[in-house]
Amino acid sequence: MSHHDHERFDSTLDRIEQAILPNLSRLLHQVLESAAQARAGVDAEEHAAGLRGTAREVAQLTDLVAMVTRRA
């Protein structure tokens, strides 16, 4: 890896850290909150729907990370 490529890679990782990791932290927090609030048999579908939405967001962020790192 050339010096220029290494700098681009470092820059890409910095962008990932600044833009994506805070979102992953927020999503993990949502999952934990959902699990803590769940009442068995009462609102399981509502919480499951929320978790499915969170999973979609994580998948989108994962795709974005893959796209950004391919460009590096």
Banded pLDDT at 69 (limits 50, 70, 90): confident
Banded pLDDT at 15 (limits 50, 70, 90): confident
The alpha carbons of the chain give a radius of gyration, in whole angstroms, of: 17
CA nearest to 23, candidates 66, 69, 62, 72:
62
